[in-house]
Amino acid sequence: MKIVAIILTLFLASCAGGTPVDYLRIHDISPPSLQHFTHCHSYGCQKKVEVNLPAKTKRKLIKNFTPAAKSAEEERAQIARAIGIFETDIGAITGTHSDKYGTFRIYKDENVNPADLQQDCVDESTNTTTYLMLLNQMEMLHFHRPAFPTSRQPFWGGNTWWHQSAVIEEIDTAQRFTVDSWFEDNGHPAYVIPLEEWSSGWNPLSPE
């Protein structure tokens, strides 16, 4: 019943124009700062680790956003790479560096509990939302702002499983894009996809 309540809360908050801070509050997470933010893992933010942004990660991010993007499209490519940078460095701190794509992975080592290594789409989208907020605080984003995460429902638009993603909004046009890191192993650049396309059931293996 807890997951149903969370899904309903997400839906109502999104419809009401909720903010990223509102979303984090649903998971009892405080607004992030470069000195202190929360990292989720183990399916649905069951486990949380408090971390700060390493200096080396900040340097990588600055390099990634230099020179500054000249268009929203260029900035979306920078954002995609930045999520990979965050995942690589923060994963090394939290132990989620071995996270594999998807949710239900099978590990050959019977002594390993996949839930201790894996992140589902709730973990991924929550962490990505935090990373987007940090990028905004660092004044890296000029064409976009972080938005409330979105979800797509089973059997709607060809979907067969409930799925959630972080979201950015283009400032000038108000067009929204999902920033989805769930489809690849930890450290891979995120997929930045127009919200309408993602909502219709997009995944990277879909035929063109």
Q: What is the C-alpha separation between 135 and 61, in angstroms, rounded?
A: 9
Q: What is the C-alpha separation between 104 and 168, in angstroms, rounded?
A: 27
Residue 181 confidence (pLDDT): 93
Residue 19 confidence (pLDDT): 96
SS3 string, 15-64, reads HCCCCHHHHHHHCCCCCCECCEEEEEECCCCCEEEEECCCHHHHHHHHHH
Q: What is the C-alpha separation between 99 and 101, in angstroms, rounded?
A: 7
Query: What tokens were used for 96?
Result: 């989620």
Q: Where are the domains of the chain?
A: 2-199
Calculate the average pLDDT of the chain.
85
Residue 147 confidence (pLDDT): 98
Q: What is the C-alpha separation between 54 and 66, in angstroms, rounded?
A: 19
pTM exceeds cut of 0.75: yes
Q: What is the C-alpha separation between 54 and 52, in angstroms, rounded?
A: 6
Find how far residue 39's CA is from the centre of its chain: 11
Residue 199 confidence (pLDDT): 93
Tell me which residues of the chain have a pLDDT lower than 70: 1-17, 99, 101-117, 154-160, 206-208
